[in-house]
Chain A
Amino acid sequence: MWDHEIRAMVSTHALIAASMFMATVLPAVFVEGFSVYRTHLLWLYCASGAVNVVSVVVFWLLGVTPSTKKHTLGYKLSRLFRSCLYFFLSCLFFHTVVVLYGAPLIDSALETFSLAVLLTSLTTMRCLCVLGPNVQAWIRVFSRHGAMSVWDTCLQITVACTLIGAWMGAFPIPLDWDRPWQVWPVSCSLGATIGYLTGLVAAPAWIHYHRKHLTYKCK
C-alpha cells in the first residue's frame, strides 16, 4: 500500500546516512589530525551540520512537511523564526536533561552543549522537518497510538532509537578502562549516532514488515 512511501523513506535515509559518513570522512582532508576522538567537538559539529542541512533539503524536496494554507512571505518567515527558536529551546532542554543526569554544570559546559546540539539535530530537527513547528502535532505523535502516517511512525522509531542510543552511551563512562572514547561526551554522542543510524535502517524495515497491521486514522 505504501510501497512508494517506503521507497522514498529508504532513499531519504540512505542520503542522510551518506551525509553522516561524509561528515566523518571529508574533514580529514582539510583539517590536520581530524579524528572522531581527538577532535571530537569538530566532528560533532560537522555531523550535526550535515544531518541538519540534508534533512531540511530532502524533506523540503519530498514535500512531507504539512503544506501551509497561507503562502505569504511573512507567515513563512514567522515559521522559519519559530523553527529556529524551537531548535534553540530544544538544545537548552537537552542540555538541562544531560546536566540533570549528572554532567558537570560548569566544568565542561561546552561539551555538554555540543552533545545537546547533536541530539537536537538528530531528533528535533527531524520533527521540525516532518511536522513543522507545531507543538500540538508533536505531542500527538509522541503519545501512544498517535501516529497518523508512515512518516510519523518513522519519526517515532528514529527518535526513540537515538535517545536510547545516547542513554546507553553513558554506560561505559564509569568503567576504569581509560579509553579515549570514555571521555565525556564521546561515548554518549557516539551512542546517539549509532542509535540514529540504527533507527534509519530499522524504521523502513519495521514499517515494511508490519505494513499489513498498520492502520492510520485519516488526517
Chain B
Amino acid sequence: MKVRSSVFASTILILEVVGVALFLRGFFPVPVKSSLSSKNKLSDLPPEPLTGGPSNASGTPKPLFKRVVIMLVDALREDFVFGPNGRMFMPYTRHVIERGSSLSYVAKARPPTVTMPRIKALTTGSIPGFIDVVMNLNSPALLEDNLIWQAKTAGKKIIFYGDDTWVRLFPKHFMEHDGTTSFFVSDYTEVDNNVTRHLDSTLKRDDWDVLILHYLGLDHIGHISGPHSSLIQPKLLEMDDILKKIHGALVSKEADGSLPYLLVLCGDHGMSETGSHGGSSEPEINTPLVLISPIFKRKAEMEKPGVVEQVDLTPTLALGLGLPISQNSVGHVIPGVLEESSLREQLRFLHLNGHQLSCLLKDSTPEYEKETGFEQFRVAEKAHGSWMKLYLEGNTSEVLTNMGKKVLKQYLEALAAMSSALSKQLGKYDMYSMIAGMVFVFQLLLVLLLAMPEALSGSASVDLPVLSSLLSLPFYLLCLFLASVHVLVCTSAESSCYFCSLSWGLVFAAVAFSSAMFCILISLARRRLPFGSQFHGKSPQISSGSEWMLSELDVLLLAGTVGHTLSLAASSFVEEEHQTWYFLLNTLCLTVFQDVCRKYFREQRGSGDEEEPILSKKSQTFSHSGSDIYSEKWLALATPPFTLLCCRLLRSLNQTGVQWAHLPDVGHWLNSSEHKVILSLLSAFCLGLIYLLVQRRCSWVSKVALAFGLVGVYSYRAAVGNVLFPWQHSSRTTSKGTVEARFVYVFILGILFSGTKDLLRSQIITADSKLKSKGLWEIYSGLVLLVSLLFRAHNLPVLCCCLLIQTLMAQFIWKKLHYDAAQTTIMHYWFGQAFFYFQGNSNNIATVDISVGFVGLESYVEAPAVFLTALSTYAGPLLWACHLVCYLSSERDRSPVAVGHGCYCLALLRSVPAAAYIVLVTVLRYHLFIWSVFSPKLLYESMHLLLSAGVCLFFITMEQTQPK
C-alpha cells in the first residue's frame, strides 16, 4: 500500500496520541475511592463494640463542638505564623498559640498545591489525584461524599464567604454565601473586603453552625510580589485582626453553657520563595493549622507544633461535629483534639474513624487482610469490646484505665498504619496499561524511523506492506499470542487495570493492530537490510564518503535533537527546559550566521576561485543589479544577529523555570501600574508592526478586517484595564471587555472564512497554487489576530518578534541559502519550542494562564475555554508550524515534495521526545520529583503531541498537488 509521506506521518502521529493516552490513563493513578456510590449515613454507623451481646446504645457519639468557624487563608505559609516573624505578622494569633487554649500543628498539604485540589482534599479527606489539577480548569459540583454534604444533611446551617470555587463545588449547600472571584489576580484588597464586610452581622447572629471564610488576598500578593514583599505584613495583620474579632465574638457568645465553639485557622497550601505554588517544595506544602477552643488545655509557653497531614482535619471536624466521616477520607483524627473527653468517648471516636478507614481499605485493596493496619484494627476492636464489657459492668479500677489507654494506643497505631497504606496507593501504577501504551508508541516510532529513506525520497511516498503482513502466518500467531497474554494478565490477581476493563472488541482491535504493526515493522526492517548485506563492506565507505557529508548545521540539528531528548532525564533540565532551547536556538543562529558569511564572503572572492565555479557564475549573473545584491547581502548578513538580539530581549521578558524564576523581568516591570503608559505605547507599537508584517500578502478585505481587529484588540486591553486609552476617563471601572473581544472574534472568523474559501476554491475548482497560498496566508493571519487577542499586553512583543523573525528568515535565509525541507522544519520546530518559553510558559502547570479561557465570555463555558487556553499556551509552536506550512507550500516550485517532507520531519521531531519521555517517566516513577516535575511535563508533552497531530492533518490538505 503506497501512502504519501504526509498521510503516513499524520496517521502515525494520531495513533501515537492514542498510545500516549492509554499510557497516561495507566500512569496517573485514579484516586482511592470507595466502590459504593452512596454516601455514609448516620444510620450506617457501626455499633460500639462490646463482647458478649450486642451493644444497645450510642450509635451516634455526642458532638464535641456546637459551632465551627473555619478561617482559610489562601497560601498561608507555616512560617508566617510559627516562624520568627510570626510575632510581628500575627501578634494576636501568636498570643493565643502561646498562652491560650489552642492546639497548633504544621499540616502537610500534598502536591499539587493548587487551591481547588486542596479544597477537595480538605472537604472529602481524600488525596485528589494529579489529574484533578487539569480539572482545576473547570470545577463542577463535587459529587463525592464530603464534609459539607454531611453537615448539610445533618441539618447544620453553613455560611460561606470567599473564593467562589467553593460555591461551584457545593452548589445549594450553603445557607448563605457570597463568592468572590479570583479572576483578577492583581486585586488583593477587594477580594478580602468582600469577605470581611459580612462578618460583623454574621457573628452577631445565632442561626448558623458552620462558618467558612476563604481569604484570597494573601495568595494574590504572593503571585504579584512574592513572600518577602512589603505587602505581606499589612495583609497578615489584617488577617490577625479578623481572627481576633471572630475569637472575641465567639468568647462572648460562649457563656450560655452549651457546647463550646471551635475556631480553625488554616491555609490551603503554602507559597514558594517566588510566591507561586503548585509544586512540592517545603514552603509550599507546610501550612499552619491552629485549633482554638475552650476545651483545649491552656498553654504555658510556645510549643513546637506537631506535624499532621492536611487531610487529618476532615475526620477531626466530622467527629467534632458528630457527623459521619466521609467515605473516601484517608486521614486519621488528630488525637490532641479528643484528649479532654472521656476515655469511652475517645475510644468510640477512634473506633468510628478506624471503621471508616478499614471499609475504604477493603474497597480499594484486594489484599486488605494482609495490611498490618487492618490487622491491628481488628485486634484493637476486640480489645475495645472487652474493655466496654468491663466498663459497663461498672468496673472503675486503675486496671481498667490502663487497659483503656492500651486500647487507645492500639487504635492510634492502627489508624496511622491504615492511613499511610491508603495514601501509598496513590503511588501505584497501572503497569499493564502503561506498557501497552508504550509498546504502541514504540512500534509506531520504529515504523516512522524505518520509513525515513522512502518518506524523504523524491517521490515522498511510503510503501507499507500492509496486505502482505495481514495475510502472513506470523500475524495470526502474534494475534493469538498477544490475546493469550492479555487474558493471562487480566485474569491474574491484579484486576485494577484500565486496559483490562476495556470492551473485548476494542481489545481485539488493539491486539490485531499491534501484531500488524509488528509484522510491518519486520518486513520494513527486512527491506532495509538487504541493501547493507548486498554491498557488504563496500557500501558503508561509499555512503560515508560522499553521500553523508554532513554540514555543521546538520551536525548541530542532529546533536541538538538527540541531546534535548536525553536531557529530559534530569529533573533540573526539565525544570529549566527553556534554557536548553534558548541555548540550542542561539547556537543555531550562530551556525546559520556562519553559513551566510561563508556564502557571501566566498562569493565575493568568487572569480579567482576555481573550486566553486557554480558560485562564481552566479555572482556574475547577479552583478547586473549591483546595488540590489549589495543591500540583499547586508540584510542577509544582518538577519542572524538581529534574530539573536530579538531572542536575547525576549528571554528577559518572562523569567520562567525554577532556579531563576525569581529574578526581576521586563514583564513584571511593564505590568506594574506606574509603567502603564509605556506598556500602552509598546502594545500599540506592536499591534501596528503586526499589521504591517501580516497585511503584505492578504487580500484587501482581509487587510481592512485585520486593521479593525487589531484596533479591537487594543480596545479590549483598555477595557480590561491593562493599557490606557488616549481619550479614556481615568476613573472608568474595568469591565470584562466582552463586547470588545466579541468584536474581534467577528473579524477573526471573517478572515478565517475568506481564507478557507480561497483554499477550497483552489482545491476543488482550480488548481491554482497562488490562490492556495493566499488562502493559507489568510488563515495564518486570522490565527495571528486571535493570538494577539489572547496574549497578555506585555507578551505582544513576543508575537511581534515571531512575525519579524519569520519574515526575515524566510526572505533572506531559508530561500537564499537553499536549506532543504528537513532542515527548515527542524529550525521551525526549534524556534517554536523557544517561543513557547518566551511567552512565559514553563513545564509547571501553574504557569498556564487560565484567564484567557474567559476572553469574550460572560461565564465559564467549557469547550471554548479549553480551546482558547490550549491555543494561547501553545501559540508559539503553533504559529511556527503554521508558518512552516505556508513557507513550504510557497516553495513548491523548487521542490514539489517539500510539504510531505516537512510533515514527516515534524512528526518525527515530535514523536522522538514523546516516546523517549514516556520511557523515562516509567523508569523514574519512584523519583522524588515525579509529581512535581515529571508529571506536569508529561501532560505538556502529550498535549503538544495532540496539537502536532492536528497540524499534520493540515499538512495533508496542503500536499494535494496536481497529478503529474
- Verify A143–B572 contact, CB threshold 8 A: no
Residues of A near B582 (CB, < 8 A) are 101-102
- Verify B651–A97 contact, CB threshold 8 A: no
Shortest CB distance A123–B (Å) = 14
- Verify B579–A102 contact, CB threshold 8 A: yes
Q: CB of A66 within 8 A of chain B?
A: no
Residues of A near B576 (CB, < 8 A) are 174
- Verify A100–B586 contact, CB threshold 8 A: yes
Q: CB of B659 within 8 A of chain A?
A: yes
Q: CB of B645 within 8 A of chain A?
A: yes
Q: CB of B622 within 8 A of chain A?
A: no
- Verify B570–A175 contact, CB threshold 8 A: yes
Residues of A near B580 (CB, < 8 A) are 174
C-alpha gap A53/B8 in the complex (Å): 61
Q: CB of B590 within 8 A of chain A?
A: yes
Shortest CB distance A118–B (Å) = 19
- Verify B598–A101 contact, CB threshold 8 A: no
- Verify A175–B611 contact, CB threshold 8 A: no
Q: CB of A77 within 8 A of chain B?
A: no
- Verify A175–B648 contact, CB threshold 8 A: no
- Verify A100–B644 contact, CB threshold 8 A: yes
Q: CB of B368 within 8 A of chain A?
A: no
- Verify B602–A143 contact, CB threshold 8 A: yes
A176 nearest in chain B by CB position: B572
- Verify B590–A102 contact, CB threshold 8 A: no
B573 nearest in chain A by CB position: A174
Q: CB of A144 within 8 A of chain B?
A: yes
- Verify B601–A139 contact, CB threshold 8 A: yes
Cβ-neighbour of A176 out of B586, B587, B611, B659 (below 8 A): B659
Residues of A near B587 (CB, < 8 A) are 167
Cβ-neighbour of A100 out of B573, B645, B657 (below 8 A): B645
C-alpha gap A174/B598 in the complex (Å): 33
Q: Answer whether A143 and B598 are a contact pair too, CB < 8 Å, given A100-B648, A175-B570.
A: yes
C-alpha gap A178/B752 in the complex (Å): 51
- Verify A102–B659 contact, CB threshold 8 A: no
C-alpha gap A86/B657 in the complex (Å): 38
C-alpha gap A170/B582 in the complex (Å): 12
Residues of A near B597 (CB, < 8 A) are 139
Q: CB of A99 within 8 A of chain B?
A: yes
Number of interface residues of A (CB under 8 A): 15
Shortest CB distance B155–A (Å) = 53
- Verify B602–A174 contact, CB threshold 8 A: no
C-alpha gap A78/B489 in the complex (Å): 83
Shortest CB distance B597–A (Å) = 8
B658 nearest in chain A by CB position: A176
- Verify A144–B648 contact, CB threshold 8 A: no
Q: CB of B867 within 8 A of chain A?
A: no
**What are the interface flags for B619-663 relative to A under an 8 Å C-beta threshold, 1 for contact and 0 otherwise?**
000000000000000000000000011011001000001010000
Residues of A near B586 (CB, < 8 A) are 100-102
Residues of B near A71 (CB, < 8 A) are none
For the A-B complex, the count of residue pairs with Cβ-Cβ distances under 8 Å equals 41
Q: CB of B583 within 8 A of chain A?
A: yes
- Verify A102–B644 contact, CB threshold 8 A: no
Residues of A near B602 (CB, < 8 A) are 143
Those of A122-173 within 8 Å (CB) of chain B: 139, 143-145, 167, 170, 173
Main SS at interface, chain B: helix
Main SS at interface, chain A: loop
Shortest CB distance A138–B (Å) = 11
Residues of A near B611 (CB, < 8 A) are 145
**What are the interface flags for A84-122 relative to B under an 8 Å C-beta threshold, 1 for contact and 0 otherwise?**
000000000000010111100000000000000000000
Residues of B near A99 (CB, < 8 A) are 648
Shortest CB distance B4–A (Å) = 36
Residues of B near A102 (CB, < 8 A) are 579, 582-583, 586, 648, 651
- Verify B590–A97 contact, CB threshold 8 A: yes
A103 nearest in chain B by CB position: B648
Cβ-neighbour of A170 out of B572, B583, B590 (below 8 A): B583
C-alpha gap A52/B81 in the complex (Å): 59
Those of B657-685 within 8 Å (CB) of chain A: 657, 659
Shortest CB distance B889–A (Å) = 32
C-alpha gap A174/B601 in the complex (Å): 37
- Verify B579–A174 contact, CB threshold 8 A: yes
Residues of A near B647 (CB, < 8 A) are 100
C-alpha gap A167/B586 in the complex (Å): 11
Residues of B near A170 (CB, < 8 A) are 583
Shortest CB distance B401–A (Å) = 53
- Verify B583–A101 contact, CB threshold 8 A: yes
C-alpha gap A100/B575 in the complex (Å): 21
**What are the interface flags for B254-268 relative to A under an 8 Å C-beta threshold, 1 for contact and 0 otherwise?**
000000000000000
C-alpha gap A43/B538 in the complex (Å): 52
C-alpha gap A102/B647 in the complex (Å): 9
Shortest CB distance A36–B (Å) = 24
C-alpha gap A81/B239 in the complex (Å): 70
C-alpha gap A99/B651 in the complex (Å): 11
Residues of B near A174 (CB, < 8 A) are 572-573, 575-576, 579-580, 657, 659
Shortest CB distance B223–A (Å) = 23
C-alpha gap A144/B551 in the complex (Å): 10
Residues of A near B657 (CB, < 8 A) are 174
Residues of B near A100 (CB, < 8 A) are 586, 644-645, 647-648
**What are the interface flags for B315-353 relative to A under an 8 Å C-beta threshold, 1 for contact and 0 otherwise?**
000000000000000000000000000000000000000
B576 nearest in chain A by CB position: A174
C-alpha gap A88/B572 in the complex (Å): 36
A101 nearest in chain B by CB position: B586
Residues of A near B572 (CB, < 8 A) are 174-176
C-alpha gap A25/B498 in the complex (Å): 64
C-alpha gap A143/B645 in the complex (Å): 25
B648 nearest in chain A by CB position: A100
A167 nearest in chain B by CB position: B587
Shortest CB distance B572–A (Å) = 5
**What are the interface flags for B565-593 relative to A under an 8 Å C-beta threshold, 1 for contact and 0 otherwise?**
00000111101100110110011001000
A139 nearest in chain B by CB position: B601
Those of B397-451 within 8 Å (CB) of chain A: none
C-alpha gap A145/B611 in the complex (Å): 10
C-alpha gap A174/B587 in the complex (Å): 17
- Verify A144–B598 contact, CB threshold 8 A: yes
Q: Which of A101, A139, A175 gathers most chain B CB within 10 Å? A: A101
Those of B581-619 within 8 Å (CB) of chain A: 582-583, 586-587, 590, 597-598, 601-602, 611
Shortest CB distance B207–A (Å) = 54
B579 nearest in chain A by CB position: A174
C-alpha gap A167/B588 in the complex (Å): 13
A177 nearest in chain B by CB position: B572
Residues of B near A167 (CB, < 8 A) are 587
C-alpha gap A144/B601 in the complex (Å): 12
Residues of B near A173 (CB, < 8 A) are 579
B586 nearest in chain A by CB position: A101
Q: Answer whether A175 and B573 are a contact pair too, CB < 8 Å, given A100-B648, A102-B648, A145-B611.
A: yes
Shortest CB distance B830–A (Å) = 15
A107 nearest in chain B by CB position: B663
Q: Which of A99, A144, A174, A175 gathers most chain B CB within 10 Å? A: A174
Residues of B near A143 (CB, < 8 A) are 598, 601-602
C-alpha gap A144/B576 in the complex (Å): 36
C-alpha gap A216/B651 in the complex (Å): 45
Query: 27 A-B residue contacts at CB 8 Å?
Result: A99-B648, A100-B586, A100-B645, A100-B647, A101-B582, A101-B583, A101-B586, A102-B579, A102-B582, A102-B651, A139-B601, A143-B598, A143-B601, A143-B602, A145-B611, A167-B587, A173-B579, A174-B573, A174-B576, A174-B580, A174-B657, A174-B659, A175-B573, A176-B571, A176-B572, A176-B575, A176-B659
By Cβ-Cβ distance, the 3 closest A-B pairs, closest first, are A174-B576, A175-B572, A176-B572
Measured CB to CB, the residues of A under 8 A from B are: 97, 99-102, 139, 143-145, 167, 170, 173-176
- New A-B contacts (9) at CB < 8 Å, excluding given A102-B579, A174-B576: A101-B582, A101-B586, A102-B582, A102-B586, A102-B648, A139-B601, A174-B575, A174-B579, A174-B657
